[in-house]
Structures are given as C-alpha cells and as structure tokens.
Structure 1
Amino acid sequence: MSKTVNITDIARLANVSVATVSNALKGKKNVSAATRERIIKIAASNHYQPSMAAQGLRTQHTKLIGMLVHDFQNVFSSTIAEDINRELHQRGYSLVVIANNSKRLLNASLFDGLIVFNYPASKQQLETIITASKLPTVLMASDSQLPNVVNVVTDNRSSVIQLSQLYEQTDHKKVCFFTNDADSYNSNSRWQTYHDYFLNKHQYDITSDTYNAHFRSEPARELALKLLQAQKYNFFYCLNDMMAYGVYQAAEELNLTIGQDISVVGFDNTQSHLAIFQPKLTTADPNMPLWSKMISDQLIDRIENQALMSNRTEYVPNQVISGSSVHLID
C-alpha cells in the first residue's frame, strides 16, 4: 500500500473485524496467539503506525513484547518462550515471537520492549539491531554493554564447576567436550569454565579434545559414533542436552550402556520436557520460571516507569540435576 494504512485496512487484509485487530494490537488475551501474530505481521509489512488519538491514550504502550529468536528447532527455545509468555500474560502483556527472517517487524513501532535469545548474529550486528529498534531490551545470552539493555543470563559458572567435579568421582578419564559455534555466549561461557577448571585442577588443557556439534543432536550423534568406534573417549561433557541426546543415540547404536560403559553430562535439563533420556541424564536446570520472571520484571519496570535501563548483567541461579548417566565410583 502506498497510502497510510489505518486499522480498518489491517482488518480487511487480515479478514477479521476491526475489534479483533484492536484487541490484537493492544495485547488482549481474547485473541489467539496465531491470529495476533498474523495481524502484527500484516500491520508491520504495511508500515502501520498505531494512532494515539484513536486509542484514546497519551502513551504509546501496546502491551506487546517482541522476542527475537533464530528458530524453534531447539526445544529449549520454544519452552523458554512459553514460560516468558505465561509470565507476561500475568502482567497484562503478550509475547510475539519474531523469527530471524521477520526482524523487520522491530521497526514497526508495535512493541513496548524486546527480548533476544539464541539469535544468530555477531555482537556488532546484534547491537545494530537493538540500537535501531530503540526499545528497552533484555538479552538472555549476552554480555553486551549497550545502554538501555540488561543481560539476564543463566549462571553457567556455578553449575559447570559442580559438573566438572564429577571427573574426580569416576574412573572414566578419557574426556571430551561438545560445544556450539564460536559466537554462542552460553557455549563460550560454559566451555571457558570447564577449561579453567581442568587446567587449574588437573593441569589439563581441554582444547584439543573439544568438538563443535552445533548444539544439535544429529551432529553430536555423528561425532560420537566416530569417537566411540575409535575408543578415544569414555566421558562426554555436552554443553547442552540436545548434544547429550546425540551421544545417547550413538551409544545405543553401538550397544554401549550409558552410566556404565560411558559417562555423559548435559546442560539445560531438557529432559524435564522431553522423555527421551534413559537412563536419566545428569545436567543443569536453568530455572526457567525464575528466569522468565526476572526478564519480565526488568522489561515491565522500564516500560511502565519510562526510565532508561542501566546496563548490567543479572545471573539466574540454577542447580545440577543428578541422574544415572555418569559412572561414579565409591
């Protein structure tokens, strides 16, 4: 459209009533998530700007929070989005998930705040997107120093140290580490803690025994098959649970028993949502309910008090979940 669109135009394009469009853009709960997202995408693609006069408001609050993600191939991403959405709904806000190829929506003036998680961009690219959006922002996997941005991240260090200590309690001493790409905050944070622990405690540099399995199960399965067939390792430290699942699959194909023939450790406690780990995986639980609450509190406080966020990093405490995937000795 070349003309300035109004709410009636959006309703016609979306094939819904004007009331439905109004409710969707205000974040009301009587519009389904799918319909709300469809309306928002239509509004954004047609450069719709909410009319303050039509809303009868002196603020530009839409009660909508955008969440910028890569995709939902990883169950962890979809689960944390559901938890955040639930928390926001309790506070009168709605979450709209924006996939990588739809980031233009951020320029549509439809959101009160922004959450970024698992987004595939360099630090510089991410900072450009955030600066252009002019939105108060919470980053879930970053140590950004941008103004008006708060980092709310899981406390990787404390859990990784506890998981590292399992090395002293097992006779499986041939250790390797499965990581993600170099620009992954969580992968880097967890790996660096493992590296420092093993170097300081055991004078062992883990670098040459580190493999990138891209935080996904299939690359981890393929890697684990090769390494197990070569009998190179018997302890797999996986920096997320999906890679641990790939090791489980490889072990099953080779008739190896997890917790006896080999040891496996994960991170993220995905097994609390997917019943795929037999035996139970030793992992770290990032405490999603608390994480979601901390994120929501930060954004809503900024939105409703109209104050700039002071840049800082807040850590979400988590805990190690003990399973039967590590061969422990008495």
Structure 2
Amino acid sequence: MITMKQIAAETGVSVSTVSLVMNNRDQGRVKPETSRAIRRTAERLGYRPNPMARSLRTSRTGMLGFISEEVATTPYAGAIIKGAQDAASSLGYVLLTVSTDGSDRESDQIQALNRYGVDGFLYAKMYDQMVDLPAPLRSRPSVVVNAQEARNRCPSIAPDEFLIGYDATRHLIDSGCRRIAYLGTTQDLPAQTDRRRGYQAALLEAGLPDDPGLVCNVGFNQEALDAVNALMDRTSPDGFFCFNDSRSFYIYQAAAARHLSIGRDISLVGVDNHQVMAETTAPRLTTVELPHYEMGYWAARKLMDLIGDSDAATLPWPETLAPLPPIDAEEPVRIHCQLIAKDSTRADR
C-alpha cells in the first residue's frame, strides 16, 4: 500500500504537506504548483486513502449500500455493479450489495444495510422506469440508477432513450433506408415511448413519413414472429429499428425465410449490445449499447459527493464508451448511449 510518507519522499515535501493536500485542506496553505505535483505523484503511484483513517476523521464508515431487485444476480446488467465498485474503490469505499425479490424483502435489506452503517444508497433497477424511492431512503443520501425517481426526490441516472431511437433511425437513414419499421415492445415503458419519439424525430428530420403501419409492438416467441412476418408481407420495410437486440432475432428469422440478406436487402439496428446476440448473429448486429458500467460509476461518484466527500468531484473521469456527464449535471441525468456499427446495415459493410 502506498503511504503519504512515500508520496512525500517522491515529491520532496513533508508528510504534513502531503496530508494537507490529500485531505483537501491545502488551499491557502500549500502553493498550487506543489499541490498539483503531490496529486500527480499520488495518482502515478496509485495512492488510495486509508478507510479506517477516513472513518475516524469524517465520522463515516466508508461503505455504500447497493440495492436492486435483479441487477446483482443478472450477468447482463452486472456492469452496473462493476462501475459502482470501481468508483467506490477509487476513493477507498466498500460497496455492500443486496438483491431483493419483493417489497418486504427490500425493507429488510435496507434495514440490514442501515445496521452496517452505510453512508448512502444506490437504488438500481433492471430497466429504465419511474420509481418511488423507498421511504427509509428519502432521508439518506441516495441515487437512483437506470431509472428515474418519480418525484425527483434524489438524483438519478438513466440512458437517454430519445437519442437511442434517434441515433438508431438516423443510422438506418444514412445507410440508405427509406421504409424504416419500428419493432417495439408491448410493455408500457418510458423507454418504449421515448425511443419511438426519437425514431419519429429522425424520420421527420429526413422528410420521411411516420407511417403507423410500419410500427409493430410485439412480445415474444411464435406470436412475435407471426407479427413480424405479417409486417414484412404487408409493408416490405428496407430497415428495422428494434426495441432491443432480442427482438431483432425475429427479423433474422423472417428475412431468412424470404431469402433476404441482412445488411444488403434489409438493414437492422438493435439496442443492448447483448453478449449472446453479439456472439451468435451473422451478420453481426449493429446495436446501441446501454451504458450499464457508466451509470454505475457515475451514480457511485455522485453518491460520494452527496455524502460530503470532496474528492468525488475532483477526481478525473475514466475513459468510457459513453461519455460520462459532469457530477453536477442537470437532473434527472441522461447518458447519450453509443451506437456500435457492425455488419447488419448497409452503411457498416
């Protein structure tokens, strides 16, 4: 473990000077160029604050509580936890993770985390939705992850669903498509509403009609495949924007049955960058990646800022696929997701 004494020796200053800088008490007491040199040295050596010393100094435990219904047990969204852990450990915090399966269990888990003395809570959901922050969390520092708090009682971060729909449709337009279908979900979700609005906005901008006949909301299995087959026979789309990657599989099936080539005869964009779909589809599916890691990282940094850790706002952000919003971004915070061009649209081949 790198110590302040090592940083002092490397920088050529006293340990007390390093302590002032690393505890953010250097303003007016240490020359700015000296403070910058100490921080650069600390970062280069990989210095991490001592959590026990931090706890004694700040009256905080250095523990953050992570609560979710399914995220903690689902590999698909596990990157949320990875992002939160990376952010927490960068400032010497520990993430305590619990997975709930209902309101009663959720209340029990919150009480358990409170008994451990966590400094604040991350409240995560499997998909973007409106949520009511549980009553026990409303008086504690809390951040909602991958959802929006219904009354904006705390900060939240989620994907920018409108731009997902806009960017996906714009990419199809740029690949030469003019009859673009939207394959949505039958679930009443904010993501469904906003992604379709983005789809409509891109069509309008390009001077293309927003044809209700090209919109098809489906569930799963044979019923969904039947609906896609009927849509293709009725309207002959040359491009598809799918609500998620799993629904795009019906397009692959329907195209194969008609001897149509994905990426040549039909262009296709999904959402998720789902690992299974990414590894099994041919040609590879162009998709918009949901920023699970980024949401977890930002939320943990925001939470540490809420509980009064001054370091949370000053540390540099890591390089990520989706740009991370500033810590003081206007709330509710939305992340602009990145489209990953592969082979399923003509522009990608």
Q: Normalising to structure 2: TM-score of the pair?
A: 0.61
Alpha-carbon offset, residue 87 of structure 1: 4.2
Alpha-carbon offset, residue 155 of structure 1: 3.2
SS in 2 for 1:108: helix
Matched residue, 1:184: 189
The yes-or-no answer on 1:115 pairing with 2:123 is yes
CA contact (8 A) 2:288 2:340 kept: yes
What amino acid maps onto 2:288 in structure 1? A
Alpha-carbon offset, residue 279 of structure 1: 1.1
Alpha-carbon offset, residue 275 of structure 1: 0.9
Q: What is the rounded CA distance, in whole Å, between the counterparts of 2:70 and 2:211 in structure 1?
A: 29
SS in 2 for 1:187: helix
Q: What is the rounded CA distance, in whole Å, between the counterparts of 1:171 and 1:141 in structure 2?
A: 34
The yes-or-no answer on 1:139 pairing with 2:158 is no
SS in 1 for 2:280: coil
**Are the structure 2 counterparts of residues 181 and 230 from structure 1 closer, same or farther at C-alpha, using a change threshold of 3 Å?**
closer
Matched residue, 1:261: 265
Matched residue, 2:319: none
- Largest Rg, 1 or 2: 2
What amino acid maps onto 1:242 in structure 2? S
What amino acid maps onto 1:270 in structure 2? H
1:41-190 superposed matches below 5 A:
61=61, 63-70=63-70, 76-90=76-90, 91-101=92-102, 102-110=105-113, 112-118=120-126, 123=130, 126-127=131-132, 129-134=133-138, 135=140, 136-142=142-148, 144-147=150-153, 149-170=154-175, 172-181=177-186, 183-190=188-195
Q: What is the rounded CA distance, in whole Å, between the counterparts of 2:80 and 2:218 in structure 1?
A: 22
After superposition, what is the alpha-carbon deviation per residue over 1:108-140, rounded to whole angstroms, capped at 9, x for unaligned?
Answer: 15153022223697x4xx22x433433412232
Structure 1: gaps of 5 or more residues: 1-54
Alpha-carbon offset, residue 320 of structure 1: 2.0
Matched residue, 1:291: 295
Q: What is the rounded CA distance, in whole Å, between the counterparts of 1:323 and 1:75 in structure 2?
A: 23
Q: What is the rounded CA distance, in whole Å, between the counterparts of 2:108 and 2:283 in structure 1?
A: 43
Q: What is the rounded CA distance, in whole Å, between the counterparts of 1:255 and 1:73 in structure 2?
A: 40
SS in 1 for 2:271: coil
Matched residue, 2:344: 325
CA contact (8 A) 1:268 1:284 kept: yes
Alpha-carbon offset, residue 206 of structure 1: 4.4
Number of residues of Structure 1 aligned to a counterpart in Structure 2: 268
Alpha-carbon offset, residue 237 of structure 1: 0.6
1:210-221 superposed matches below 5 A:
210-213=215-218, 220-221=224-225
**Are the structure 2 counterparts of residues 76 and 197 from structure 1 closer, same or farther at C-alpha, using a change threshold of 3 Å?**
same
CA contact (8 A) 1:68 1:99 kept: yes
**Are the structure 2 counterparts of residues 119 and 100 from structure 1 closer, same or farther at C-alpha, using a change threshold of 3 Å?**
farther
What amino acid maps onto 1:193 in structure 2? G
CA contact (8 A) 2:121 2:137 kept: no
**Are the structure 2 counterparts of residues 183 and 279 from structure 1 closer, same or farther at C-alpha, using a change threshold of 3 Å?**
same
CA contact (8 A) 1:66 1:96 kept: yes
Q: What is the rounded CA distance, in whole Å, between the counterparts of 1:74 and 1:257 in structure 2?
A: 33
Matched residue, 1:193: 198
Q: What is the rounded CA distance, in whole Å, between the counterparts of 1:219 and 1:81 in structure 2?
A: 35
CA contact (8 A) 2:186 2:217 kept: yes
Q: What is the rounded CA distance, in whole Å, between the counterparts of 1:228 and 1:279 in structure 2?
A: 19
Q: What is the rounded CA distance, in whole Å, between the counterparts of 2:292 and 2:269 in structure 1?
A: 19
Matched residue, 2:16: none
Q: What is the rounded CA distance, in whole Å, between the counterparts of 2:83 and 2:108 in structure 1?
A: 22
Structure 2: gaps of 5 or more residues: 1-54, 115-119, 311-326
Q: Normalising to structure 1: TM-score of the pair?
A: 0.64
Alpha-carbon offset, residue 213 of structure 1: 3.2
Q: What is the rounded CA distance, in whole Å, between the counterparts of 1:131 and 1:207 in structure 2?
A: 42
What amino acid maps onto 2:194 in structure 1? S
**Are the structure 2 counterparts of residues 285 and 329 from structure 1 closer, same or farther at C-alpha, using a change threshold of 3 Å?**
closer
RMSD (CA atoms): 4.0
CA contact (8 A) 1:85 1:95 kept: no
CA contact (8 A) 2:243 2:270 kept: yes
Alpha-carbon offset, residue 219 of structure 1: 6.5
